[in-house]
């Protein structure tokens, strides 16, 4: 097996530069990085992770815990985390919590037994004492999307996203707007609900609790809740589904009831996953910066593992802007405009 020294000689650089290039670290030009990687491929170079672990007392394993690996939002973020982990020569251990605190705690404990160097978690609840205990023991932990007091987090502004979705529907003339959401005891969903209420109140409309349906984030909840809203004496003319998976069920219910979208019912989803472009009509959705969230979380965690942090540092909270992507489920004929999605980042901002 080729050594790092041989790779460096083939590429015409120092071993230190070759090491930085292969680990995707700063201080190496793009041309040098490319030349080193080409030399490594030609020589079949593989880093000796076991020796490196002995030298650094690190396993070069990080854990990622998501609520639902089948949900495209979480899987797309996980892909971005995995991309960065691979580039930095870390293995990624993935766990599925089903959104349950006890299952999340069991998996976190298992990862701790395997001596992971750090964790990235979509917390099942804000009352996650097991995460606080792990952090108190010195384990680097970065949260995505869901806050736990005292822990670092990278998230999108969900209240602003809820306002974007609702303001778009209001701008189209809708005044009776239904909301179908997951459990409101989770901060992300509550923030989207608050954004919905904020947009209505700002437009002079009193929020109607009879137009709100709370449950799971699965498509079957969207389906049942949409049918329930359609059966109201005065049904809504638009529905804001707080995830794309919920919106898929909404569209199915509308199709079965022969309700034309968007002519008689406009629909907005949330997350802007691949589901939005494989359904018909294609779904208007609030886009979270999924790639950015995953890549930043992984980079921040691995930098923390390798470079450390000062004791007593305040928790870091990075808040990213969502963006509304308009498609045919709210605006008929929009597909004909340049034949692509239309991101409307300035529509209906809450100002928060």
Express each pLDDT in 78-120 by its tens digit.
Answer: 999 999 999 999 999 999 999 899 999 999 999 988 899 999 9
Q: Is the pLDDT of residue 352 over 90?
A: no
Residue whose pair of structure tokens reads 């089903």 in the numeric block: 98
pLDDT score recorded for residue 310: 67
Average pLDDT, the chain: 88
Q: Is the pLDDT of residue 138 over 50?
A: yes
Which one has a higher pLDDT value, 161 or 50?
A: 161
Do 89 and 47 meet the contact criterion of CB atoms below 8 Å apart?
Answer: yes
Q: Is the pLDDT of residue 31 over 60?
A: yes
Instruction: Give every CB contact of residue 271 below 8 A, 6+ residues apart in sequence.
Output: 72, 73, 243, 244, 285, 286, 287, 288, 290
CA distance 287 to 271: 5
Task: Indicate the pLDDT class of residue 314, thresholds 50, 70 and 90.
Answer: confident
**Stretch 140-158: mean pLDDT:** 93
CA distance 81 to 85: 6
Q: What pTM was estimated for this model as a whole?
A: 0.80
Q: Is the pLDDT of residue 299 over 60?
A: yes
Residue whose pair of structure tokens reads 């389906």 in the numeric block: 223
Which stretch of 3-12, 176-185, 272-281, 291-300 has the lowest confidence by average pLDDT? Answer: 3-12
Q: Is the pLDDT of residue 341 over 60?
A: no
Do 12 and 29 meet the contact criterion of CB atoms below 8 Å apart?
Answer: no
Task: Indicate the pLDDT class of residue 262, thresholds 50, 70 and 90.
Answer: very high
Residue whose pair of structure tokens reads 């692509």 in the numeric block: 340
CA distance 170 to 164: 10
The model's pLDDT over 185-218, given as tens digits with 9 standing for 90+, comes to 888 999 999 999 999 999 999 999 999 999 999 9
pLDDT score recorded for residue 57: 65
Q: Is the pLDDT of residue 347 over 50?
A: no
**Stretch 249-270: mean pLDDT:** 97
pLDDT score recorded for residue 316: 92
The CATH label, of 3.40.50.970, 3.40.50.10860, 3.40.50.2300, 3.40.50.2000, for the domain at 53-156+290-320 is 3.40.50.2300
Do 269 and 327 meet the contact criterion of CB atoms below 8 Å apart?
Answer: no
Pinpoint the residues of the chain covered by CATH 3.40.50.2300. Answer: 53-156+290-320, 158-288+323-344
* Rounded percentage of the chain residues whose pLDDT exceeds 70: 90
Residue whose pair of structure tokens reads 């199915």 in the numeric block: 252
Please name every residue paired with 94 in a beta bridge, in sequence order, or none if there are none. Answer: 64
pLDDT score recorded for residue 136: 84
CATH superfamily of 158-288+323-344: Response regulator (3.40.50.2300)
pLDDT score recorded for residue 104: 93
3-state secondary structure the chain: CCCHHHHHHHHCCCHHHHHHHHCCCCCCCHHHHHHHHHHHHHHCCCCCHHHHHHHHCCCCEEEEEECCCCCHHHHHHHHHHHHHHHHCCCEEEEEECCCCHHHHHHHHHHHHHCCCCEEEECCCCCCCHHHHHHHHCCCCEEEECCCCCCCEEEEECHHHHHHHHHHHHHHCCCCCEEEEEECCCCHHHHHHHHHHHHHHHHCCCCCCHHHEEEECCCHHHHHHHHHHHHCCCCCCCEEEECCHHHHHHHHHHHHHCCCCCCCCCEEEEEECCCHHHHCCCCCEEEECCHHHHHHHHHHHHHHHHHHCCCCCCCCCEEEECCEEEECCCCCCCHHHCCCCCEEECCCCCCCC
pLDDT score recorded for residue 271: 97
**Stretch 31-42: mean pLDDT:** 89
What distances in angstroms separate CA 86 from CA 24, 47, 139, one per listed residue? Answer: 10, 12, 20
pLDDT score recorded for residue 346: 36
Do 223 and 255 meet the contact criterion of CB atoms below 8 Å apart?
Answer: no
CA distance 293 to 79: 11
Q: Is the pLDDT of residue 307 over 70?
A: yes
Residue whose pair of structure tokens reads 């071993």 in the numeric block: 15
Do 122 and 65 meet the contact criterion of CB atoms below 8 Å apart?
Answer: yes
pLDDT score recorded for residue 345: 38
CA distance 257 to 104: 39
């Amino acid at each position: 097996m080729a050594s790092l020294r041989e790779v460096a000689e083939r590429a015409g650089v120092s071993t230190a530069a070759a090491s930085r290039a292969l680990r995707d670290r700063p201080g190496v030009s793009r041309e040098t990085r490319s030349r080193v990687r080409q030399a490594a491929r030609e020589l079949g170079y593989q880093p000796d992770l076991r020796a490196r672990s002995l030298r650094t007392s690190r396993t070069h394993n990080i854990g990622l815990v998501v609520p639902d690996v089948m949900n495209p939002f979480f899987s797309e973020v996980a892909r971005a985390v995995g991309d960065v982990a691979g580039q930095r020569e870390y293995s990624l251990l993935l766990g599925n919590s089903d959104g349950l605190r006890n299952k999340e705690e069991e998996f976190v404990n298992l990862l701790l037994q395997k001596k992971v160097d750090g964790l990235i978690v979509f917390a099942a609840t804000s009352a996650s004492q097991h995460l606080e205990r792990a952090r108190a023991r010195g384990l680097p932990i970065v949260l995505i999307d869901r806050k736990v007091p005292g822990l670092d987090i990278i998230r999108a502004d969900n209240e602003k996203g809820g306002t974007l979705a609702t303001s778009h529907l209001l701008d189209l003339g809708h005044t009776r707007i239904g909301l179908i959401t997951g459990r409101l005891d989770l901060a992300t969903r509550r923030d989207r609900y608050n954004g919905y209420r904020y947009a209505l109140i700002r437009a002079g409309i009193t929020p109607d609790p009879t137009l709100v349906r709370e449950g799971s984030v699965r498509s079957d909840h969207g389906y049942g809740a949409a049918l329930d809203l359609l059966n109201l004496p005065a049904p809504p003319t638009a529905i804001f589904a707080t995830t794309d998976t919920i919106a898929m069920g909404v569209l199915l219910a509308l199709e079965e009831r022969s309700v034309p979208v968007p002519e008689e019912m406009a629909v907005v989803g949330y997350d802007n996953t691949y589901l939005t472009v494989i359904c018909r009509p294609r779904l208007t959705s609030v886009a979270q910066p999924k790639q950015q969230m995953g890549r930043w979380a992984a980079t921040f965690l691995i930098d923390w593992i390798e470079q450390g942090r000062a004791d007593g540092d305040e928790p870091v909270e990075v808040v990213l802007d969502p963006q509304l992507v308009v498609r045919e489920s709210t605006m008929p004929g929009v597909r004909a405009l340049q034949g692509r999605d239309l991101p409307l980042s300035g529509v209906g901002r809450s100002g928060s």
